Every structure is written in C-alpha cells, then in structure tokens.
Chains A and B, each alone.
Chain A
Amino acid sequence: MRPAVVRELEKTGPNGGPLNEDALSRPTMAGRETGVWIVVEVAAGVVVNLYLLAGVGLGVGLIAGFAGVSGGYLLTPILMILGFPAPHAVGTAQALQAGNNLIGILRHRRLGHVDLKMGIIMATGALFGAEIGLRALHHARAISPSHADIAVLSMMMIMLGVIAVSMAVEVRRSRRRLAELGEADSAADEGEIHTAACEFLQGLCIFPHIRFTKSKLRISAWIVLGLGVVIGLLSGFLGVGGGFMSNPALIYLVGQPSLMAVGTNLIAAFTGVTFGCFRNAMLGVVHLPVALVMLLGTAIGTQLGALGTSWVKGIAVRSVLAASVSAAILGPAIKLAWMLTGSQVTWLDQVARLVALLQIAVPVALIALFLVMGYRRRCGGAVPAWVRRMLAGRPDQA
C-alpha cells in the first residue's frame, strides 16, 4: 500500500496542471529520442533536453569546484525553472548531491580533513532534519502543488540572500584581518578562529560534553546535533547540502579549524541528501537518468574547477562566487513572479529560463577568462591590469 502522502499527491497534476495518474506512483521519466536530441519527460507535458541538463551539470560543477561550494543552491532552482515540480527537483538534486558529496568525502578523507566523531553526531541530527524537511515539502505539495513550488522558491531566495549577506560580511572581515596580519602572515589566517560565541558554546557544560580530539575542542553533543538538524532540514526541504550555513557555524560557533569544517560538514550533508534521496525515491519523485547524467557533468566540472583554483588568487574565487550568488537570486525571483501571476504571463517563464541559463553561463565565462588569462601570463603574454591582480604567480611574470 502506498503512503498517504503519495495517495494525496496523485489527486493533482504537477504545477496545478491536469491530473497525471502516474505523477508519483512511479517516476515520470520516459526518455524519448527526437533525431539526435534526447528529451526526458519530467512532468505531464514538460520535456527537458538531456544535453542541456548535462551542460547545466558541467557548469554547476565548474562553479562549485572553483568556488569550493557544493552548488546545491544553483541546482534546485534551475531544475524547477526548467519545469520540474518542486518535489521532483528536490529529489533529483538530492540524488545528484549524494553522489557528488561521496566524491568530496573520499577526497577530504584522503587529505585527513574529516572529524569522523563530530561528523557522525551531525549526521544523526541530519537524518531527523531531512525527514522533517521532506514531510513539510510533501505536506505543502498535498495542500496544493503550486504551494510547494512557491514555498521552495521563496525559501531558496531567502537562503541566497543569507549567503549574499554572509559573503559580504566574511569578505569584509577577512580583508580587515589580512590588513591587520599583513600579507606575510596571511597563512596564519587558515587556522582556528576563536570568537566569543565559540568560547561561550564550548563552555556550556550540557551532558554529554564530548572531546573531539581531531578538531582539538570540547563541546556539548547537543550543539553539534542541533547543527546537524538544521543541515538536514535544508537538504530535506530544498535539496541543498547546507554548507553555506554550517561551514561558518562550525568555524565561528563550534570553533573547528576551517579545513576540518569543510570535510566534517560533508558527512552531515551527505547523510541528509542520501536519506532524502532514499525517501523521495520511495515516493517516486527521483529522476534517476537525469541525476546520473548531471552527476557525470558535475563531477567532471568540479575537478576542472578545482584545478583552476591553483591559477588564481582568493579574490578571483570570491568574485566568481559573488557573481554566481547574485545571478542565482534573479532566476527564482522571476519564476516566483510568474507563479504569483497565476502562470498567465508566459514571457516571464521564458525570461526565467534564459536567466537560469545565464546564471550558469556568466560565472563559467568568468572562470574561463581567468584560466585563459592565467595561461597567457604563464606563456609570457600580455594580460590586462585588472585581471593580473587576480591571478596567482610572480608579479614580474606580467
């Protein structure tokens, strides 16, 4: 017998459209070949080109690898703009991120940047959070399909706003810190950061107060567990890894070293998205072929992007991330406007699609520019002064 949520969902079609009997009883992913183009039916009457999805995956991977983020904040809105209903977009993004996070964990484990004890506690919290987030999403969908879409897009916009603000604060703080330390001591900036909040939280003696030897700190397990629940909530409801919130939280609130925070957070994010993928697959809203095709693109893009970071300075990475986040707010905003107008203004949907592709294309073009200029500089060619400031290497190589 199918779960109650599925039975509820079967009463309405995606995007409030006509009733599709198969909408959630099994994945709607009939692959169709039209000439050399393969299209995938993602909802009733909505088809998406598979090569486009592979390209989007490659672009997201390139940005994610270059900027050192998971890229989940780009995936779910783009899938929704391309026509996936919210639960389908979240389920597919979770499947894709489960594979991608596994690659990240294995890489960080090789480098020794994973605190397994803290990761397991966070992962336990992430399991609860993911279930709550997933139930909230499907509950919204059961009320009305458009409710879920609007809720996800609105939350995504709030989340992107939080990223943009936290990025601005972080950039200002790191500039001030660099100015205080001086260029020569900038390497010291990579270690542990002791804030008043982290000293307060580490001082809270709530049982069990656990020592994390790898992170060299002692903190109550409840705080770590709570952080895991937040990550799980985000992954369950939005299909994102939540690194943009948990990484600063681990560094500034828990007091974990920066590099260790990235690897440890990946364990919680991986658990959240994998559990979410499992639950969504049970409900039949994971598009496996789409997830696999995009995973291939994302994995290759991430490796290329990560290679590119050795050619540029931190400021170039931050510029790409800022461009990506700023552009990423536009697409969901236009799609939301289209939904709020009762899906009547068709050109808004077309503009949202165009902006969604541009929000990938602009940062990718920036990365390509940095890499081409970096190559030219290494070969002794002329490079514009504003680009030269962002490239790694000796100043006399201009």
Chain B
Amino acid sequence: MRLPTISRVKQRPRKRNWVVSTVEAVVAAVLVCVMTWYALARTEQLDKQMAEAGATWTGLITVAIVLSAGGLLAFAFGRAEDAVRGRRAAADTQAEADE
C-alpha cells in the first residue's frame, strides 16, 4: 500500500479562537513598538555597540532588526485579520443559535 506523502495530505486550515488571535496580534504589535522605542531611547548606545561590532555585524544586525520588525508586523496583521473574521463567525453562530 502506498502511503500518502506529507505534500499529498490536504491540510485543513487550523481554526483559531478569535480571542487568541487578538492577543497574538497585540503581542506582536507591542513587540515592534518596544523595538522601535529601544532603538530611539538607546540610540547612542546602539551606535557604540555597532561600531565595536564591525561593519559586517552592523549590516547583519540592521537587516535582522528590520526584517524582524517587518515579520512581526506581517504576523500581527495576519492575526488581526483572523481575529476579525473569527469574531464575525462567532457573532453569526450566536445569532443563528438565538433564532
């Protein structure tokens, strides 16, 4: 018997609770805000650390920070979308149950 490979198994989209999605979105957004605040508040300290680290590390750290911020924001928006959709679905289900 031929077993299905992982790619052939149709994965069902994981259902998330809208409250969990909201919390995830908020946490990701707060993390980005904290990163931005830290970069602003500790500018001179960051400058000094980067200057000590050398050019290649400065480049790598800068790219890593920017991409983490972008990735976290993408995650936050994705979860916020899921939360709105989940909230609407929950409200519809509630309305049907009430009827």
Q: Is the CB of A274 within 8 A of B63?
A: yes
DSSP majority for the B interface? helix
Q: Name the B residues within 8 Å of A98 (CB-CB).
A: 63, 66-67, 70
Q: Is the CB of A289 within 8 A of B39?
A: yes
Does B96 touch A at the CB level, under 8 Å?
no
Comparing B3-11, B42-50, B86-94, the segment that makes contact with chain A is B42-50
Q: Name the B residues within 8 Å of A279 (CB-CB).
A: 59
Q: B11-45 interface mask toward A, CB cutoff 8 Å, 1 = contact, 0 = none?
A: 00000000000000000000011011001110110
User: Once the chains are docked, how many angstroms separate the CA of A102 from the CA of B71?
Assistant: 7
Q: A281-325 interface mask toward B, CB cutoff 8 Å, 1 = contact, 0 = none?
A: 111101011011101100100010000000000000000000000
User: Once the chains are docked, how many angstroms separate the CA of A96 from the CA of B43?
Assistant: 17
User: Once the chains are docked, how many angstroms separate the CA of A282 from the CA of B54?
Assistant: 8
User: Once the chains are docked, how many angstroms separate the CA of A207 from the CA of B89?
Assistant: 52
Does B97 touch A at the CB level, under 8 Å?
no
B80 to chain A: closest CB distance in Å? 8
Question: Restricting to B42-99, which residues have a CB under 8 Å from any CB of A?
Answer: 43-44, 46-47, 50-51, 55-56, 58-63, 65-67, 69-71, 73-74, 77-78
Q: Is the CB of B70 within 8 A of A26?
A: no
Q: Is the CB of B56 within 8 A of A282?
A: yes
Q: A191-234 interface mask toward B, CB cutoff 8 Å, 1 = contact, 0 = none?
A: 00000000000000000000000000000000000000000000
Q: A22-56 interface mask toward B, CB cutoff 8 Å, 1 = contact, 0 = none?
A: 00011101110000001000000000001000000
Q: Is the CB of A282 within 8 A of B66?
A: no
B52 to chain A: closest CB distance in Å? 10
User: Once the chains are docked, how many angstroms separate the CA of A2 from the CA of B54?
Assistant: 9
User: Once the chains are docked, how many angstroms separate the CA of A95 from the CA of B58?
Assistant: 13
Q: Is the CB of B62 within 8 A of A278?
A: yes
Q: Name the B residues within 8 Å of A293 (CB-CB).
A: 36, 40
Q: Which one of A3, A26, A38 lies within 8 Å of B47 (CB-CB)?
A: A26
Interface size class of B (residues with CB under 8 A): 20 to 34
Q: Is the CB of B63 within 8 A of A292?
A: no
Q: Is the CB of B43 within 8 A of A289?
A: yes
Q: Given contacts A2-B55, A38-B40, is CB(A281)–CB(B78) below 8 Å?
A: no
User: Once the chains are docked, how many angstroms separate the CA of A137 from the CA of B56?
Assistant: 20
- Give the size of the chain A interface in residues (CB under 8 angstroms): 39
Q: Name the A residues within 8 Å of B63 (CB-CB).
A: 95, 98, 274, 277-278, 281
Q: Given contacts A95-B66, A303-B77, is CB(A26)–CB(B59) below 8 Å?
A: no
Q: Is the CB of A281 within 8 A of B62?
A: yes
Q: Is the CB of A295 within 8 A of B47?
A: no
User: Once the chains are docked, how many angstroms separate the CA of A96 from the CA of B36?
Assistant: 13
User: Once the chains are docked, how many angstroms separate the CA of A103 from the CA of B51?
Assistant: 29
Q: Name the A residues within 8 Å of B40 (CB-CB).
A: 31, 38, 50, 289, 292-293
Q: Given contacts A281-B58, A293-B36, is CB(A288)–CB(B73) below 8 Å?
A: no
Chain B residue nearest in CB terms to A28: B47
Chain A residue nearest in CB terms to B73: A299
Q: Given contacts A31-B41, A107-B74, A110-B78, is CB(A295)–CB(B59) below 8 Å?
A: no
Q: Name the A residues within 8 Å of B61 (CB-CB).
A: 281
Q: Is the CB of B47 within 8 A of A29?
A: yes
Does A256 touch B at the CB level, under 8 Å?
no
User: Once the chains are docked, how many angstroms separate the CA of A321 from the CA of B50?
Assistant: 39
Q: Is the CB of B43 within 8 A of A295?
A: no
Does A99 touch B at the CB level, under 8 Å?
yes
Does A351 touch B at the CB level, under 8 Å?
no
User: Once the chains are docked, how many angstroms separate the CA of A282 from the CA of B60?
Assistant: 8
Q: Name the A residues within 8 Å of B39 (CB-CB).
A: 288-289, 292
A-B pairs with beta carbons under 8 Å apart, 19 shown: A29-B43, A31-B41, A95-B62, A95-B66, A99-B67, A100-B70, A101-B70, A102-B71, A278-B62, A281-B61, A281-B62, A282-B56, A288-B46, A289-B43, A292-B32, A295-B70, A296-B69, A299-B70, A299-B77
User: With contacts A289-B39, A303-B77 known, what are 7 further pairs, Cβ within 8 A?
Assistant: A29-B43, A38-B40, A281-B61, A283-B55, A288-B66, A291-B66, A293-B40
Q: Using a CB–CB distance below 8 Å, which chain B residues touch chain A?
A: 32-33, 35-36, 39-41, 43-44, 46-47, 50-51, 55-56, 58-63, 65-67, 69-71, 73-74, 77-78
For the complex of A and B, 5 pairs with smallest distance between CB atoms: A99-B70, A281-B62, A102-B70, A282-B59, A103-B74
